[in-house]
Amino acid sequence: MKSSSIYVMILITLVLVLSGSFCFADNDAQDLAPLPLTLAEAIDLALQNQPALMASEKAVEAAQAQHKQALSTYWPSLNATGLYSWLDEDPVMIYPASKMVIPPMDMGGFVFRLPSFPVPEQKIKLMDQENLLTSVNLSYPVYTGGLLSSLRQQAKYNIEINRQKQRKTELEVIHNVKKYYYSALLAREILSIGQEALTRLEVTLSLTENLYQKGSGRVKKTDYLKSKVIVENVRALVTDIQSQSTLALAALVHAIGLPWNQPVIITEKEIPFMPLEMDLQNYIAQVYAHNPDWALVKAALVINQAQIQEAQSGYLPKLAITGSLNYIINDYDYGIVNNATNETWSIGLGLQVPLFNGFRTANKIKEAKANYEKLQYRQIELEQGLALQIHYLFLKLATARQKETSLLLGREAAVENQQLTESAYQIEMVDEQDLIESQIMASFSQARYLAVLLEYFLAQSELELVIGCAVDKAIND
Protein backbone atom coordinates (compact mmCIF):
# COMPACT_ATOMS: atom_id res chain seq x y z
CA MET A 1 0.00 0.00 0.00
CA LYS A 2 1.20 3.51 -0.73
CA SER A 3 1.87 5.71 2.23
CA SER A 4 -1.37 6.59 4.01
CA SER A 5 0.06 9.99 4.96
CA ILE A 6 -0.70 11.16 1.44
CA TYR A 7 -4.41 10.64 2.01
CA VAL A 8 -4.35 12.34 5.38
CA MET A 9 -2.51 15.38 3.96
CA ILE A 10 -5.07 15.67 1.19
CA LEU A 11 -7.90 15.84 3.70
CA ILE A 12 -6.01 18.28 5.89
CA THR A 13 -5.90 20.52 2.83
CA LEU A 14 -9.70 20.47 2.79
CA VAL A 15 -9.72 21.86 6.32
CA LEU A 16 -7.21 24.57 5.37
CA VAL A 17 -9.41 25.58 2.43
CA LEU A 18 -12.15 26.28 4.96
CA SER A 19 -10.06 27.98 7.60
CA GLY A 20 -8.69 30.50 5.10
CA SER A 21 -12.12 31.63 3.95
CA PHE A 22 -13.41 33.36 7.08
CA CYS A 23 -12.45 34.75 10.45
CA PHE A 24 -13.19 32.88 13.64
CA ALA A 25 -16.04 33.67 16.01
CA ASP A 26 -17.71 32.07 19.00
CA ASN A 27 -21.11 30.44 18.71
CA ASP A 28 -22.67 29.12 21.89
CA ALA A 29 -26.09 27.70 22.49
CA GLN A 30 -28.66 29.06 20.10
CA ASP A 31 -31.98 30.12 21.56
CA LEU A 32 -33.49 31.93 18.56
CA ALA A 33 -35.32 30.41 15.62
CA PRO A 34 -33.09 29.82 12.55
CA LEU A 35 -33.31 32.62 9.99
CA PRO A 36 -33.22 31.49 6.33
CA LEU A 37 -31.31 33.99 4.19
CA THR A 38 -30.57 34.51 0.54
CA LEU A 39 -27.56 36.66 -0.29
CA ALA A 40 -29.77 39.63 -1.17
CA GLU A 41 -31.64 39.32 2.14
CA ALA A 42 -28.37 39.07 4.06
CA ILE A 43 -27.10 42.25 2.39
CA ASP A 44 -30.34 44.12 3.13
CA LEU A 45 -30.16 43.12 6.79
CA ALA A 46 -26.53 44.21 7.02
CA LEU A 47 -27.33 47.61 5.53
CA GLN A 48 -29.99 48.05 8.21
CA ASN A 49 -28.13 46.65 11.22
CA GLN A 50 -24.42 47.36 10.84
CA PRO A 51 -23.32 49.91 13.49
CA ALA A 52 -20.55 51.14 11.19
CA LEU A 53 -23.13 52.29 8.64
CA MET A 54 -25.23 54.00 11.31
CA ALA A 55 -22.14 55.84 12.53
CA SER A 56 -21.30 57.00 9.01
CA GLU A 57 -24.86 58.29 8.54
CA LYS A 58 -24.51 60.37 11.71
CA ALA A 59 -21.19 61.71 10.42
CA VAL A 60 -22.98 62.95 7.28
CA GLU A 61 -25.69 64.59 9.42
CA ALA A 62 -23.02 66.32 11.51
CA ALA A 63 -21.30 67.61 8.36
CA GLN A 64 -24.61 68.95 7.02
CA ALA A 65 -25.19 70.77 10.30
CA GLN A 66 -21.70 72.27 10.08
CA HIS A 67 -22.50 73.49 6.55
CA LYS A 68 -25.65 75.20 7.80
CA GLN A 69 -23.58 76.83 10.53
CA ALA A 70 -21.24 78.21 7.85
CA LEU A 71 -24.20 79.52 5.84
CA SER A 72 -25.54 81.31 8.92
CA THR A 73 -22.62 83.76 8.77
CA TYR A 74 -24.22 85.38 5.69
CA TRP A 75 -27.22 86.45 7.77
CA PRO A 76 -27.33 89.41 10.14
CA SER A 77 -26.60 88.66 13.77
CA LEU A 78 -29.28 90.00 16.14
CA ASN A 79 -28.88 89.66 19.90
CA ALA A 80 -30.88 90.91 22.87
CA THR A 81 -29.20 91.49 26.23
CA GLY A 82 -30.35 92.58 29.62
CA LEU A 83 -28.44 93.72 32.71
CA TYR A 84 -30.08 94.21 36.09
CA SER A 85 -27.96 95.95 38.70
CA TRP A 86 -28.40 96.98 42.34
CA LEU A 87 -25.96 99.56 43.66
CA ASP A 88 -25.12 99.98 47.32
CA GLU A 89 -26.55 103.51 47.16
CA ASP A 90 -27.97 105.98 44.69
CA PRO A 91 -25.24 107.42 42.45
CA VAL A 92 -24.86 111.17 42.96
CA MET A 93 -22.83 114.03 41.54
CA ILE A 94 -21.23 116.32 44.15
CA TYR A 95 -21.26 119.97 43.12
CA PRO A 96 -18.51 121.79 45.08
CA ALA A 97 -19.15 124.89 47.24
CA SER A 98 -18.79 128.23 45.42
CA LYS A 99 -19.68 131.90 45.54
CA MET A 100 -22.36 133.44 43.42
CA VAL A 101 -21.39 136.88 42.15
CA ILE A 102 -24.17 139.15 40.88
CA PRO A 103 -22.93 141.65 38.33
CA PRO A 104 -23.63 145.36 39.07
CA MET A 105 -26.84 146.85 37.70
CA ASP A 106 -27.00 150.33 36.10
CA MET A 107 -30.07 152.15 37.49
CA GLY A 108 -29.85 155.28 35.30
CA GLY A 109 -26.91 157.08 36.65
CA PHE A 110 -26.76 154.99 39.67
CA VAL A 111 -24.95 151.67 39.77
CA PHE A 112 -26.44 149.19 42.15
CA ARG A 113 -24.01 146.61 43.47
CA LEU A 114 -25.02 143.52 45.42
CA PRO A 115 -22.58 141.56 47.52
CA SER A 116 -21.67 137.97 46.49
CA PHE A 117 -22.97 135.17 48.64
CA PRO A 118 -21.65 131.65 49.15
CA VAL A 119 -23.27 128.54 47.59
CA PRO A 120 -22.79 125.45 49.76
CA GLU A 121 -21.71 122.01 48.43
CA GLN A 122 -24.56 120.17 46.72
CA LYS A 123 -25.23 116.44 46.14
CA ILE A 124 -27.29 115.86 43.01
CA LYS A 125 -28.89 112.41 42.53
CA LEU A 126 -28.22 111.01 39.09
CA MET A 127 -30.33 107.84 39.11
CA ASP A 128 -31.94 105.31 41.39
CA GLN A 129 -29.72 102.55 42.81
CA GLU A 130 -31.87 99.84 41.15
CA ASN A 131 -31.37 99.76 37.39
CA LEU A 132 -32.30 97.57 34.37
CA LEU A 133 -30.44 98.05 31.10
CA THR A 134 -31.80 96.28 27.97
CA SER A 135 -30.39 96.39 24.47
CA VAL A 136 -30.78 94.84 21.03
CA ASN A 137 -27.60 94.67 18.92
CA LEU A 138 -27.30 94.07 15.18
CA SER A 139 -24.19 93.05 13.24
CA TYR A 140 -24.02 92.30 9.50
CA PRO A 141 -20.76 91.46 7.70
CA VAL A 142 -20.47 93.36 4.43
CA TYR A 143 -16.98 92.31 3.37
CA THR A 144 -14.65 89.75 4.97
CA GLY A 145 -11.94 89.38 2.36
CA GLY A 146 -13.16 85.92 1.32
CA LEU A 147 -13.14 84.49 4.84
CA LEU A 148 -16.81 83.55 5.00
CA SER A 149 -16.95 82.12 1.47
CA SER A 150 -13.91 79.92 2.17
CA LEU A 151 -15.47 78.59 5.36
CA ARG A 152 -18.69 77.82 3.51
CA GLN A 153 -16.71 75.99 0.78
CA GLN A 154 -14.89 73.89 3.37
CA ALA A 155 -18.13 72.93 5.11
CA LYS A 156 -19.80 72.07 1.79
CA TYR A 157 -17.07 69.68 0.68
CA ASN A 158 -16.79 68.21 4.14
CA ILE A 159 -20.28 66.84 3.50
CA GLU A 160 -18.96 65.22 0.31
CA ILE A 161 -16.04 63.68 2.20
CA ASN A 162 -18.37 62.13 4.78
CA ARG A 163 -20.73 60.89 2.07
CA GLN A 164 -17.84 59.14 0.34
CA LYS A 165 -16.79 57.61 3.67
CA GLN A 166 -20.35 56.42 4.12
CA ARG A 167 -20.36 54.92 0.61
CA LYS A 168 -17.03 53.20 1.26
CA THR A 169 -18.40 51.71 4.48
CA GLU A 170 -21.47 50.48 2.61
CA LEU A 171 -19.30 48.85 -0.07
CA GLU A 172 -17.16 47.18 2.60
CA VAL A 173 -20.25 45.86 4.40
CA ILE A 174 -21.63 44.40 1.16
CA HIS A 175 -18.26 42.83 0.31
CA ASN A 176 -17.93 41.29 3.78
CA VAL A 177 -21.43 39.84 3.65
CA LYS A 178 -20.73 38.30 0.23
CA LYS A 179 -17.42 36.93 1.46
CA TYR A 180 -18.79 35.33 4.61
CA TYR A 181 -22.04 34.16 3.01
CA TYR A 182 -20.32 32.12 0.32
CA SER A 183 -17.55 31.08 2.70
CA ALA A 184 -20.27 29.57 4.87
CA LEU A 185 -21.80 27.94 1.79
CA LEU A 186 -18.39 26.51 0.87
CA ALA A 187 -18.00 25.22 4.42
CA ARG A 188 -21.38 23.52 4.19
CA GLU A 189 -20.55 21.90 0.86
CA ILE A 190 -17.10 20.72 1.96
CA LEU A 191 -18.67 19.29 5.11
CA SER A 192 -21.08 17.39 2.89
CA ILE A 193 -18.17 16.17 0.74
CA GLY A 194 -16.24 15.13 3.84
CA GLN A 195 -19.21 13.23 5.27
CA GLU A 196 -19.77 11.51 1.95
CA ALA A 197 -16.08 10.62 1.75
CA LEU A 198 -16.20 9.21 5.27
CA THR A 199 -19.25 7.11 4.39
CA ARG A 200 -17.47 5.73 1.32
CA LEU A 201 -14.33 4.97 3.31
CA GLU A 202 -16.40 3.17 5.93
CA VAL A 203 -17.97 1.05 3.20
CA THR A 204 -14.50 0.41 1.82
CA LEU A 205 -13.30 -0.60 5.26
CA SER A 206 -16.22 -3.03 5.55
CA LEU A 207 -15.40 -4.53 2.14
CA THR A 208 -11.73 -4.77 3.06
CA GLU A 209 -12.59 -6.57 6.27
CA ASN A 210 -14.85 -8.95 4.37
CA LEU A 211 -12.17 -9.67 1.72
CA TYR A 212 -9.55 -10.13 4.42
CA GLN A 213 -11.67 -12.66 6.30
CA LYS A 214 -13.42 -14.43 3.41
CA GLY A 215 -11.52 -13.48 0.26
CA SER A 216 -8.75 -15.13 -1.71
CA GLY A 217 -6.08 -13.95 0.70
CA ARG A 218 -4.93 -11.09 -1.45
CA VAL A 219 -6.05 -8.61 1.20
CA LYS A 220 -4.05 -8.92 4.38
CA LYS A 221 -4.75 -7.84 7.92
CA THR A 222 -2.21 -5.03 7.56
CA ASP A 223 -4.27 -3.66 4.66
CA TYR A 224 -7.37 -3.72 6.86
CA LEU A 225 -5.59 -1.98 9.73
CA LYS A 226 -4.17 0.72 7.47
CA SER A 227 -7.65 1.33 6.09
CA LYS A 228 -9.03 1.61 9.61
CA VAL A 229 -6.34 4.19 10.52
CA ILE A 230 -7.27 6.28 7.49
CA VAL A 231 -11.00 6.06 8.29
CA GLU A 232 -10.52 7.21 11.87
CA ASN A 233 -8.26 10.08 10.79
CA VAL A 234 -10.82 11.16 8.22
CA ARG A 235 -13.55 10.95 10.89
CA ALA A 236 -11.55 13.36 13.06
CA LEU A 237 -11.03 15.69 10.10
CA VAL A 238 -14.75 15.70 9.35
CA THR A 239 -15.34 16.76 12.96
CA ASP A 240 -12.93 19.67 12.41
CA ILE A 241 -14.71 20.60 9.18
CA GLN A 242 -18.04 20.60 11.02
CA SER A 243 -16.60 23.00 13.60
CA GLN A 244 -15.26 25.22 10.81
CA SER A 245 -18.71 25.25 9.21
CA THR A 246 -20.25 26.45 12.47
CA LEU A 247 -17.64 29.17 12.77
CA ALA A 248 -18.33 30.26 9.19
CA LEU A 249 -21.99 30.87 10.03
CA ALA A 250 -21.01 32.78 13.18
CA ALA A 251 -18.74 35.01 11.08
CA LEU A 252 -21.65 35.68 8.70
CA VAL A 253 -23.93 36.61 11.62
CA HIS A 254 -21.34 39.12 12.80
CA ALA A 255 -20.95 40.61 9.30
CA ILE A 256 -24.73 41.09 9.01
CA GLY A 257 -24.93 42.74 12.43
CA LEU A 258 -27.35 40.25 13.96
CA PRO A 259 -27.22 39.13 17.61
CA TRP A 260 -24.34 36.73 18.22
CA ASN A 261 -26.67 33.84 19.08
CA GLN A 262 -28.96 34.22 16.04
CA PRO A 263 -28.73 31.04 13.91
CA VAL A 264 -28.98 31.50 10.15
CA ILE A 265 -29.55 29.12 7.25
CA ILE A 266 -27.84 29.59 3.89
CA THR A 267 -30.56 29.10 1.27
CA GLU A 268 -28.37 29.50 -1.81
CA LYS A 269 -27.49 26.17 -3.40
CA GLU A 270 -24.18 26.94 -5.13
CA ILE A 271 -21.45 29.53 -5.53
CA PRO A 272 -22.18 31.55 -8.69
CA PHE A 273 -19.64 31.55 -11.48
CA MET A 274 -20.14 34.37 -13.98
CA PRO A 275 -16.97 35.08 -15.99
CA LEU A 276 -16.36 38.77 -16.54
CA GLU A 277 -15.37 40.65 -19.62
CA MET A 278 -11.62 41.05 -19.16
CA ASP A 279 -11.05 44.70 -20.10
CA LEU A 280 -8.25 46.01 -17.92
CA GLN A 281 -8.16 49.52 -19.37
CA ASN A 282 -11.89 49.99 -18.86
CA TYR A 283 -11.70 48.85 -15.22
CA ILE A 284 -8.82 51.24 -14.53
CA ALA A 285 -10.71 54.10 -16.17
CA GLN A 286 -13.89 53.38 -14.19
CA VAL A 287 -12.11 53.25 -10.83
CA TYR A 288 -11.40 56.99 -11.13
CA ALA A 289 -15.09 57.64 -11.78
CA HIS A 290 -16.56 55.59 -8.91
CA ASN A 291 -13.93 54.85 -6.26
CA PRO A 292 -14.87 56.60 -2.97
CA ASP A 293 -11.25 57.14 -1.91
CA TRP A 294 -10.55 58.96 -5.18
CA ALA A 295 -13.65 61.15 -4.77
CA LEU A 296 -12.66 61.81 -1.16
CA VAL A 297 -9.21 63.07 -2.16
CA LYS A 298 -10.71 65.33 -4.83
CA ALA A 299 -13.05 66.86 -2.24
CA ALA A 300 -10.15 67.26 0.20
CA LEU A 301 -8.19 69.19 -2.46
CA VAL A 302 -11.09 71.65 -2.80
CA ILE A 303 -11.09 72.08 0.99
CA ASN A 304 -7.34 72.75 0.95
CA GLN A 305 -7.81 75.42 -1.72
CA ALA A 306 -10.49 77.05 0.45
CA GLN A 307 -8.09 76.93 3.41
CA ILE A 308 -5.54 78.87 1.33
CA GLN A 309 -8.23 81.47 0.62
CA GLU A 310 -9.10 81.58 4.31
CA ALA A 311 -5.49 82.26 5.22
CA GLN A 312 -5.14 84.96 2.53
CA SER A 313 -8.17 86.78 3.93
CA GLY A 314 -5.94 87.73 6.87
CA TYR A 315 -4.34 90.40 4.66
CA LEU A 316 -7.66 92.03 3.71
CA PRO A 317 -9.89 94.46 5.66
CA LYS A 318 -13.20 93.49 7.22
CA LEU A 319 -16.29 95.72 6.95
CA ALA A 320 -19.51 95.32 8.94
CA ILE A 321 -22.70 97.27 9.63
CA THR A 322 -23.56 97.57 13.32
CA GLY A 323 -26.58 98.88 15.15
CA SER A 324 -28.02 98.95 18.64
CA LEU A 325 -31.21 99.91 20.45
CA ASN A 326 -30.93 100.57 24.22
CA TYR A 327 -33.59 101.10 26.85
CA ILE A 328 -32.96 101.90 30.54
CA ILE A 329 -35.60 101.24 33.21
CA ASN A 330 -35.07 103.29 36.38
CA ASP A 331 -37.51 104.64 38.94
CA TYR A 332 -35.78 108.03 39.06
CA ASP A 333 -37.08 110.32 36.32
CA TYR A 334 -34.41 112.97 36.62
CA GLY A 335 -30.62 113.09 36.47
CA ILE A 336 -28.98 111.10 33.71
CA VAL A 337 -31.95 108.73 33.36
CA ASN A 338 -35.12 110.46 32.23
CA ASN A 339 -37.71 110.36 29.52
CA ALA A 340 -35.33 112.08 27.11
CA THR A 341 -32.36 109.74 27.62
CA ASN A 342 -33.66 106.32 28.69
CA GLU A 343 -34.20 105.18 25.10
CA THR A 344 -31.36 105.49 22.56
CA TRP A 345 -30.31 103.89 19.29
CA SER A 346 -27.26 103.96 17.08
CA ILE A 347 -26.10 102.68 13.70
CA GLY A 348 -22.55 102.48 12.46
CA LEU A 349 -20.09 101.08 9.95
CA GLY A 350 -17.21 99.12 11.44
CA LEU A 351 -13.89 98.67 9.64
CA GLN A 352 -10.98 96.47 10.67
CA VAL A 353 -7.71 96.78 8.76
CA PRO A 354 -4.90 94.31 9.60
CA LEU A 355 -1.56 96.11 9.90
CA PHE A 356 0.86 93.71 11.55
CA ASN A 357 0.50 90.40 13.41
CA GLY A 358 4.03 89.08 13.62
CA PHE A 359 3.92 87.35 10.18
CA ARG A 360 1.22 84.98 11.39
CA THR A 361 -0.86 85.42 8.22
CA ALA A 362 2.12 84.77 5.94
CA ASN A 363 2.90 81.51 7.73
CA LYS A 364 -0.74 80.44 7.69
CA ILE A 365 -0.72 80.84 3.92
CA LYS A 366 2.54 78.92 3.69
CA GLU A 367 1.10 76.09 5.81
CA ALA A 368 -2.10 75.88 3.74
CA LYS A 369 -0.18 75.75 0.46
CA ALA A 370 2.15 73.06 1.80
CA ASN A 371 -0.84 70.95 2.88
CA TYR A 372 -2.37 71.38 -0.57
CA GLU A 373 0.80 70.24 -2.32
CA LYS A 374 1.16 67.30 0.08
CA LEU A 375 -2.35 66.16 -0.77
CA GLN A 376 -1.57 66.45 -4.49
CA TYR A 377 1.29 63.99 -4.03
CA ARG A 378 -1.03 61.72 -2.07
CA GLN A 379 -3.46 61.87 -4.98
CA ILE A 380 -0.71 60.74 -7.37
CA GLU A 381 0.16 57.92 -4.98
CA LEU A 382 -3.50 56.87 -4.76
CA GLU A 383 -3.87 57.02 -8.54
CA GLN A 384 -1.00 54.59 -8.99
CA GLY A 385 -2.16 52.40 -6.11
CA LEU A 386 -5.69 52.05 -7.52
CA ALA A 387 -4.35 51.08 -10.92
CA LEU A 388 -2.09 48.50 -9.25
CA GLN A 389 -5.01 47.04 -7.30
CA ILE A 390 -7.11 46.72 -10.45
CA HIS A 391 -4.20 45.09 -12.28
CA TYR A 392 -3.65 42.65 -9.40
CA LEU A 393 -7.35 41.69 -9.27
CA PHE A 394 -7.43 41.39 -13.07
CA LEU A 395 -4.58 38.85 -12.88
CA LYS A 396 -6.24 37.11 -9.95
CA LEU A 397 -9.49 36.74 -11.92
CA ALA A 398 -7.64 35.47 -14.98
CA THR A 399 -5.75 32.92 -12.87
CA ALA A 400 -8.91 31.74 -11.12
CA ARG A 401 -10.64 31.41 -14.49
CA GLN A 402 -7.87 29.17 -15.81
CA LYS A 403 -7.85 27.13 -12.60
CA GLU A 404 -11.63 26.68 -12.85
CA THR A 405 -11.29 25.17 -16.31
CA SER A 406 -8.55 22.76 -15.21
CA LEU A 407 -10.20 21.78 -11.94
CA LEU A 408 -13.54 21.15 -13.65
CA LEU A 409 -11.86 18.63 -15.97
CA GLY A 410 -9.96 17.16 -13.05
CA ARG A 411 -13.13 16.78 -10.98
CA GLU A 412 -14.92 14.98 -13.80
CA ALA A 413 -11.96 12.66 -14.29
CA ALA A 414 -11.67 11.98 -10.53
CA VAL A 415 -15.38 11.10 -10.21
CA GLU A 416 -15.22 8.78 -13.20
CA ASN A 417 -12.04 7.17 -11.85
CA GLN A 418 -13.72 6.63 -8.48
CA GLN A 419 -16.71 4.90 -10.05
CA LEU A 420 -14.54 2.58 -12.14
CA THR A 421 -12.22 1.77 -9.23
CA GLU A 422 -15.13 0.94 -6.91
CA SER A 423 -16.53 -1.50 -9.50
CA ALA A 424 -13.13 -3.08 -10.06
CA TYR A 425 -12.44 -3.45 -6.33
CA GLN A 426 -15.59 -5.46 -5.78
CA ILE A 427 -14.27 -8.14 -8.14
CA GLU A 428 -10.69 -7.82 -6.75
CA MET A 429 -9.23 -6.36 -9.95
CA VAL A 430 -7.59 -3.47 -7.99
CA ASP A 431 -6.24 -3.40 -4.50
CA GLU A 432 -7.57 -1.49 -1.52
CA GLN A 433 -5.03 1.32 -1.72
CA ASP A 434 -6.19 2.25 -5.23
CA LEU A 435 -9.79 2.37 -4.07
CA ILE A 436 -9.05 4.64 -1.12
CA GLU A 437 -6.90 6.90 -3.26
CA SER A 438 -9.64 7.23 -5.89
CA GLN A 439 -12.25 8.10 -3.26
CA ILE A 440 -10.07 10.69 -1.54
CA MET A 441 -8.97 12.23 -4.85
CA ALA A 442 -12.62 12.51 -5.95
CA SER A 443 -13.54 14.31 -2.71
CA PHE A 444 -10.45 16.50 -2.92
CA SER A 445 -11.17 17.44 -6.56
CA GLN A 446 -14.74 18.42 -5.73
CA ALA A 447 -13.59 20.55 -2.78
CA ARG A 448 -10.83 22.24 -4.81
CA TYR A 449 -13.31 23.08 -7.56
CA LEU A 450 -15.70 24.68 -5.08
CA ALA A 451 -12.80 26.58 -3.53
CA VAL A 452 -11.74 28.06 -6.88
CA LEU A 453 -15.35 29.14 -7.53
CA LEU A 454 -15.23 31.05 -4.24
CA GLU A 455 -11.81 32.44 -5.13
CA TYR A 456 -13.18 33.83 -8.43
CA PHE A 457 -16.32 35.21 -6.79
CA LEU A 458 -14.39 36.96 -4.02
CA ALA A 459 -11.93 38.44 -6.52
CA GLN A 460 -14.91 39.81 -8.46
CA SER A 461 -16.45 41.19 -5.26
CA GLU A 462 -13.14 42.79 -4.31
CA LEU A 463 -12.95 44.32 -7.79
CA GLU A 464 -16.37 45.90 -7.21
CA LEU A 465 -15.15 47.15 -3.82
CA VAL A 466 -12.14 48.88 -5.41
CA ILE A 467 -14.03 50.27 -8.41
CA GLY A 468 -16.85 51.48 -6.19
CA CYS A 469 -19.79 49.98 -8.06
CA ALA A 470 -20.99 46.72 -9.57
CA VAL A 471 -18.76 45.41 -12.34
CA ASP A 472 -21.62 45.24 -14.86
CA LYS A 473 -22.28 48.97 -14.27
CA ALA A 474 -18.60 49.75 -14.78
CA ILE A 475 -18.60 47.79 -18.04
CA ASN A 476 -21.73 49.57 -19.28
CA ASP A 477 -20.28 52.96 -18.35
Residue 57's pLDDT is: 95
Give the pLDDT mean for 377-391: 95
Q: What percent of the chain has pLDDT over 90?
A: 57
Mean per-residue pLDDT over the chain, rounded? 86
pLDDT for residue 119:
77
Q: Which residues of 306-339 are buried (b: 16+ CB within 10 A; e: fewer)?
A: bbbbbbbbeebebbbeeebeeebebebeebebee
Tell me what pLDDT residue 128 has: 87
**Average of per-residue pLDDT across 204-217:** 72
More confident residue, 205 or 428: 205
| Cα–Cα distance measured from residue 58 to residue 165, given in angstroms and rounded to the nearest whole number | 11
**pLDDT tens for each residue of 11-68:** 445 544 545 554 444 444 446 899 999 999 999 999 999 999 999 999 999 999 999 9
* Amino acid in position 384: Q
CATH of domain 5-79+145-316+357-476: 1.20.1600.10
Q: What pLDDT does residue 322 have?
A: 95
Asked if the model's pLDDT at residue 378 lies above 90, the reply is yes
Task: Tell me what the mean pLDDT of segment 346-353 comes to.
Answer: 94
Q: Is pLDDT at 220 greater than 80 in this prediction?
A: no
Percent of the chain with pLDDT over 70: 89
- For the chain, which residues make up each domain, given as ranges? 5-79+145-316+357-476
Give the per-residue pLDDT at 97: 80
Predicted confidence at residue 472, as pLDDT, reads: 60
Q: Closest Cα to residue 451, out of 13, 52, 53, 117?
A: 13
**pLDDT of the residue at 138:** 95
DSSP class of 146: T
pLDDT of 94 reads 84
Instruction: Tell me which of 23-27, 108-112, 375-379, 429-433 is least confident.
Output: 23-27
More confident residue, 239 or 28: 239
Most trustworthy range by pLDDT among 110-119, 401-410, 413-422 = 401-410
pLDDT for res 332: 83
Separation between Cα atoms, residue 272 and residue 306, nearest integer Å: 48
Find all residues with CB under 8 Å of 91, minimum gap 6, and list them.
Answer: 125, 126, 127, 129
Q: What's the pLDDT score for residue 475?
A: 54
- Residue 372: is its pLDDT beyond 50? yes
Contact 170, 47 (CB under 8 A): yes
Say if CB 72 and CB 127 are below 8 A apart.
no
pLDDT at position 385 is 96
Of 167-171, 243-247, 322-326, minimum mean pLDDT range = 243-247
Q: Which of 97-101, 173-177, 242-246, 315-319 has the lowest mean pLDDT?
A: 97-101
Question: Is the pTM here over 0.85, yes or no?
Answer: no
Residue 184: the pLDDT is: 93
Check whether 269 has a pLDDT greater than 60: yes
